[in-house]
Amino acid sequence: MNGAQAIIRSLEREGVSHIFGYPGAAIAPFYDRLSDSNIRHILVRHEQHAGHAAGGYARIAGSPGVCAVTSGPGATNLLTALATAYMDSVPVVAITGQVDSGLLGRDVFQEADITGAAEPFTKYSYLVKEAKDLPRIVKEAFHIAATGRPGPVLIDVPFDIQMTEAKFDFPKDAVIRGYRPTIRGHAGQIKRVIRALEQSEYPLICAGGGVFAAKAQDTLREFAESINIPVVSTLMGIGAIPTSHPLYMGQVGMHGKSTANDAISEADILILIGARVSDRAVLLPDKVKRRTKIIHIDIDPAEIGKNLDTFLPVVGDAKTVMEQVLSHSPARKSDEWVEFLTEKKASRRIDLSDRVNGVNPKRFVNELSKALPDDFIYCADVGQNQLWSAGNIDIRTGGRFLTTGGMGTMGYAIAAAAGARIASREMSDGRFTVAVCGDGAFQMSMMELATVVQHGIDVKVVVMVNGKLGLVREIQTDSYGDRQTAVDLSGSPDPVAIARAYGIAGDTVDTWERARDGMQKLIERKGPYLLAVRVDEAESSL
Amino acid sequence: MKHTIAVLVENKAGVLSRISGLFARRGFNIDSLAVGPTEDPLISRITIIVDGDDYMAEQVTKQLNKLIDVLKVRNLAENEITRRELALVKVNVDESKRGEIVDIAKIMGCEIVDISHTTLMIEFDDRPERVDLLIDLLSKYSIAEMARTGTIALQKGQESV
């Protein structure tokens, strides 16, 4: 069998059902053999979205998403999606075609040093030198992508290697001596956590995206409920426990709920679980440092102590470490601290008021999420729509909020939603999946409506239309004397007309009454649907 | 403060670029970097001297450890190691100065490995600060060209990375 077949056979062995991709000359042998396989190929309309779709797939499936593109521009177009997956710790395996190995370095047609270019954005990468190595490399790539702190792995395969005959020898296990992630927390550290918890009066949990990576949502809930510890989350951790849970105090950070930020500054112990406390997550690290002792539970030792001084580091898998702590049956804390925060939370309500112009987007997000089935998948793009979504979404048990918190890549939502929806279909009849974006991000991703139609992917799209790059406009208003520069989106097409051109039904709503009807139509509709929601350009993010 | 970090890595293509890329990306300042094979042909040893505070040294160690091709990382304490560096220095000489330079070489314990009508090449291996001293002494004359290997280090006694 040749190298191309060896890759496909290895992907089958890894249980891959879908590949998101875009073909080209340098990856033609791979595509030629792909038609012999049961693996379904989803043809996207831009390589970047192959990566986002694979990422969306991975976040719902809990196993790596796979994408394939050609050499040169195909591969460089994929870079942004790799960087997105890297920053958000999402397992993706990317296969890129490469020019003949004998021509490497000669700047031939469609040659790009993609392993070099992707180095800062991948957990690991391979430039394949021999066809016989392919099964081992694929095995290792999946192992590296999915274990430890998940992330993207790139396999760059020269054209001639895809064509070379070699023996297929698929290893049972990936043996990589320099890679052994720590799963169990150190027993001594666990005891110290118990002791610190015993002495604490105002403990607080900050949940990050690592809770999802460890599939630890249920354990987190049990952990918080049994010890009676309030929970805040980072942007990536939203939904780690239901937003309506009495112990949940909201999202922390620059764009977070002030109850959550208050909780952080009042807490005597802050337990970070799978959260890397980025610059956006912690408003005033100095304030936190002074008052609060930090217990940091993370599978990536390099994150501990990077952004905040840590009192007690625990390296390990979020789920395993929480279970270890729970096995010591830590005592339940009094209600006083929870009640204090609950009172604060109660004084801050979601803004449901009517708008003079257009629809109140915060109310829209809140009521839409409440009306959806509990196990919905909500993909928020980047910009004001992301903050309206993050701040006002209602998530019950089983619901997922997918967004790119680290990279903040515009144009993420539609492709990610397509991948997520496909993953959900493998596990059940499919979960209700909606992508919410602004009119800026929509125009970076609207070509993917064709992907959705071609492959019958039931994804709903909400476009918040305000004719501006709203978040940048807000920055200019607040910090640059409202001198609005290059944020006007005049000339943009009507999203509903665009949808119609792709054969997707849709509607525009500009009042609350119509928005409510539109929401109903969006929910009841079988198949893709686009709802354009008019929003006043002066609407604030928070 | 200078930290001596010993790194054992897989001996394969691309590893050095991953390591140097990491230093560039994260803004770590490398004073010197020396790479060579070990007794195991599949493993190379890299010795890195970085200048920075303890936070930086910890970050360097953790980020290096995160690289899949890195097998072991150890920040070596000054008092537990023997450090060496090799330098070749070519000095422009005329008859009147040759004697002085040969004296310096002798006192420092260097070897003169090449001589011509107008140059001397001096070989010196010693602790890095001794190499610095030699270069300082020679800088009074005219150094035509020089090459240093960068520091390598091993732990004393039975300890190993």
Q: Taking all residues of chain A, what is their mean pLDDT, rounded to a whole number?
A: 95
Which residues of chain B approach chain A closer than 8 Å at the C-beta?
Answer: 9-10, 13-14, 17-18, 21, 25, 55, 58-59, 62-63, 65-71
Residues A32 and A112 in one domain: yes
Question: Does A89 reach chain B within 8 Å, measured CB to CB?
Answer: no
Q: What is the mean pLDDT of residues A122-144?
A: 98
pLDDT greater than 90 at residue A542: no
Has residue A179 been placed in a domain? no
| Contact residues, chain A, for B9 at CB < 8 Å | 178
Q: Which of A178, A302, A305 lies at the smallest CB-CB distance from B68?
A: A178
| Min Cα separation A273/chain B (Å) | 19
| Contact residues, chain B, for A127 at CB < 8 Å | 13-14
Furthest CA-CA distance within chain A: 70
| pLDDT tier, A508 (very low <50, low <70, confident <90, very high otherwise) | very high
Give tens-digit pLDDT for A258-304.
Answer: 788 889 888 999 999 999 877 666 654 555 556 688 999 999 999 88
Residues A340 and A432 in one domain: no
Q: From residue A403, how far is each of A281, A383, A539 by CA, in Å? A: 15, 11, 21
Has residue A177 been placed in a domain? no
Q: Determine the Cα–Cα distance for residues A416 and A57; give it in Å rounded to an integer.
A: 7
Give tens-digit pLDDT for A409-465.
Answer: 999 999 999 999 999 999 888 999 999 999 999 999 999 999 999 999 999 999 999
pLDDT number for residue A348: 78
| Contact residues, chain A, for B66 at CB < 8 Å | 300-302
Give tens-digit pLDDT for B17-36.
Answer: 999 999 988 888 889 999 99
Q: From residue A434, how far is each of A53, A376, A463, A527 by CA, in Å? A: 14, 8, 11, 11
Q: Residues with Cβ < 8 Å from A199, sequence gap 6 or more?
A: none
| pLDDT tier, A156 (very low <50, low <70, confident <90, very high otherwise) | very high
Residues A70 and A119 in one domain: yes
- Please count the other Cβ atoms lying within 10 Å of the Cβ belonging to residue A368: 27
Has residue A251 been placed in a domain? yes
Q: Which of A111, A131, A163 is the last residue of a domain?
A: A163
Q: Which of A148, A163, A178 is the last residue of a domain?
A: A163
Has residue A334 been placed in a domain? yes
Based on the number of CB atoms within 10 Å of its own CB, is A198 exposed (0-12), middle (13-18) or buried (19 or more)? exposed
Report pTM: 0.94
pLDDT number for residue A286: 54
| Contact residues, chain B, for A178 at CB < 8 Å | 9-10, 67-71
Contact at CB, A119 and B21, closer than 8 angstroms? yes
- Please count the other Cβ atoms lying within 10 Å of the Cβ belonging to residue A277: 25
Domain count of chain A?
A: 3
pLDDT greater than 80 at residue A254: no
Residues A285 and A389 in one domain: no
Nearest CA in chain B to A175: B68
Contact at CB, A144 and B69, closer than 8 angstroms? no
Question: Does A311 reach chain B within 8 Å, measured CB to CB?
Answer: no
| Contact residues, chain A, for B17 at CB < 8 Å | 116, 119
Q: What is the mean pLDDT of residues A136-144?
A: 98
Q: What is the mean pLDDT of residues A27-55?
A: 98
Give tens-digit pLDDT for A209-252.
Answer: 999 999 999 999 999 999 999 999 999 999 999 999 999 999 98
Q: Which of A285, A314, A346 is the last residue of a domain?
A: A346
Residues A376 and A411 in one domain: yes
Q: At what angle do helices A336-346 and A258-266 cross, to 10 degrees?
A: 150
Q: What is the mean pLDDT of residues A105-131?
A: 96
Q: Determine the Cα–Cα distance for residues B51 and B2; give it in Å rounded to an integer.
A: 4
| Backbone Cα Rg of chain A | 24
Has residue A406 been placed in a domain? yes
| Min Cα separation A219/chain B (Å) | 27
| DSSP assignment letter at A52 | H
| CA neighbor of A383 nearest in space, from A474, A459, A261, A445 | A474
Contact at CB, A116 and B17, closer than 8 angstroms? yes
In the A/B pair of chains, how many CB contacts fall below 8 A?
35
pLDDT greater than 90 at residue A342: yes
| CA neighbor of A315 nearest in space, from A278, A273, A267, A269 | A273
Which residue range forms the structural domain that includes residue A497?
361-534
Contact at CB, B67 and A178, closer than 8 angstroms? yes
Q: What is the mean pLDDT of residues A13-22?
A: 98
Q: Determine the Cα–Cα distance for residues A471 and A41; give it in Å rounded to an integer.
A: 36
Residues A209 and A152 in one domain: no
Has residue A172 been placed in a domain? no
Q: Which of A120, A178, A302 lies at the smallest CB-CB distance from B21?
A: A120
Q: What is the mean pLDDT of residues B35-41?
A: 95
pLDDT greater than 80 at residue A72: yes
Residues A213 and A293 in one domain: yes
Residues A300 and A433 in one domain: no
| Min Cα separation A302/chain B (Å) | 5
| Min Cα separation A180/chain B (Å) | 9
Q: Determine the Cα–Cα distance for residues A243 and A258; give it in Å rounded to an integer.
A: 15
pLDDT number for residue A287: 56
- ipTM score for this prediction: 0.87
Contact at CB, A305 and B58, closer than 8 angstroms? yes
Contact B150, B35 (CB under 8 A): no
Selected residue with higher pLDDT from A393 and A305? A393
Selected residue with higher pLDDT from A143 and B54? A143
CATH number at residue A328: 3.40.50.1220
pLDDT greater than 60 at residue A473: yes
| Contact residues, chain B, for A181 at CB < 8 Å | none
Contact at CB, A127 and B63, closer than 8 angstroms? no
Q: Is the dihedral of CA A96, A101, A103, A105 positive or negative?
A: positive
Has residue A168 been placed in a domain? no
CA atoms within 13 A on the CB side of A217: 21
Residues A153 and A192 in one domain: no
The residue of B62, B65, B67 whose CB has the most chain A CBs within 10 angstroms, and thus the best one to mutate to test that interface, is: B62
Q: What is the mean pLDDT of residues A327-334?
A: 94
Residues A57 and A96 in one domain: yes
Q: Which of A115, A123, A302 lies at the smallest CB-CB distance from B62?
A: A302
Residues A195 and A256 in one domain: yes
Residues A200 and A293 in one domain: yes
pLDDT number for residue A44: 98
Question: Does A175 reach chain B within 8 Å, measured CB to CB?
Answer: no
Has residue A353 been placed in a domain? no
Q: What is the mean pLDDT of residues A190-204?
A: 95
CATH number at residue A365: 3.40.50.970
pLDDT number for residue A184: 97
Contact A91, A61 (CB under 8 A): no
pLDDT greater than 90 at residue A309: no
Q: What percent of chain A has pLDDT over 70?
A: 97
